[in-house]
Amino acid sequence: MHYSGSQSQYPVYICRYARQELQNSHCQEIRALGLDAEIESLILATLAPDKIALAMSALEQIEEEQATLRQQWQIRLERARYETERARRQYNAVEPENRLVARNLECLWEQKLREIEKLEQDFQAWVRQHRLELTPADREEILALGENLPMIWSAPTTSSADKKQIIRLVIKEVIVDQHREKGKVWFQVNWETGAISEHGYIRRVTSYADFVDTERLYQRIRELHAEQKMDEEIAATLNAEGFRTPHHQSFTSQLLWILRKELGLPSVIHQGFISERWEDGSYSVYGAAKALGA
């Protein structure tokens, strides 16, 4: 996290790997407010009551599957314990003078002991990895969270630290890349449940070269210009169709004049509206050109 601006009021996420390891410039620099807003909307949508109810139903199915797997583990453990106990009894039953048989039975017993120890360690590791124990009270509390979360989230008493704690409960990490697609920020959310989702949003840029809608915008300007529309008319049409500048501003006739010049499009002149001669008898440019046959 870094803060930019004259008063360090703009939070920015910066990756410094390239500078630290390769002595290059920053890998990426992304404004935090835009990304944070996307994550916030995603969290509130994900923790909506209907989504939580679906998650709880899926959780019940997972619990049933884990109960079946736990039973299979118990069967394997019981079998291993039985074989270990059997090896012990065989060793204890052998006559002391029969040393060769006793040695073999002792090795077998030790082998079974190592096997049961390894199996119990594997089982405990599986339990830790798949720990999923929710009481009825836990379920009610989770469902109530979905009903109250939007109100809690926007409450003045909910601090940024509180929001971060909520996010960390459901999101493991967020991977961001603003170079994957022109004019957009792509990000991947790795959820604590193991699910992965991909998202994206349009980012603010300073030039049309980095603007996500540049080609579509230029094509529309060419089409409207071909229809003999003036700059003011083109600007009004673009605004009505939802086009915006890279700074998310509306288009004006002055801005259209600049864009039209960059695209090499000439001015549109509606000759029918221009008089050949003015009231004082002088010729207009159009009238003089017509009189001279130009």
- 31 within domain boundaries: yes
Number of domains within the chain: 3
Higher local confidence (pLDDT), 190 or 131: 190
Structural domain for 192, as ranges: 2-46+159-202
Fill in the amino acid letter for 91.
Answer: Y
Residues 278 and 243 in one domain: yes
Residues 189 and 235 in one domain: no
Residues 92 and 128 in one domain: yes
Residues 193 and 220 in one domain: no
- 142 within domain boundaries: no
Residues 167 and 23 in one domain: yes
pLDDT tens, position by position, 248-277:
789 998 899 999 998 998 887 655 555 666
- 188 within domain boundaries: yes
Write out 96-108 in H/E/C secondary structure.
CCCHHHHHHHHHH
- 145 within domain boundaries: no
Distance CA 23, CA 81 (A): 59
Q: In Å, how far from its chain's centre is CA 247?
A: 23
Task: Say if residue 148's pLDDT is above 70.
Answer: yes
Which whole number is the average pLDDT over 145-166?
A: 82
Q: What is the largest CA-CA distance in the chain?
A: 141
Residues 111 and 54 in one domain: yes
pLDDT tens, position by position, 62-95:
677 788 888 999 999 999 999 999 998 988 888 8
- Range from 30-44, 145-159, 279-293 carrying the lowest mean pLDDT: 279-293
Residues 239 and 283 in one domain: yes
Tokens of 114: 């190592």
Question: What's the first-to-final CA gap in the chain, in angstroms?
Answer: 65
Q: How many residues are given for the chain?
A: 294
Residues 123 and 257 in one domain: no
Cβ atoms of residues 192 and 172 within 8 Å:
yes
Higher local confidence (pLDDT), 68 or 290: 68
Element containing residue 256 per DSSP (H, E): helix 253-262
Residues 195 and 65 in one domain: no
Q: Residue 12: which of 38, 27, 37, 31 has the closest Cα?
A: 31
**Tokens 């695209």 belong to which residue?**
263
Residues 125 and 268 in one domain: no
Which whole number is the average pLDDT over 143-155?
A: 76
Last residue of a domain, one of 136, 169, 186: 136
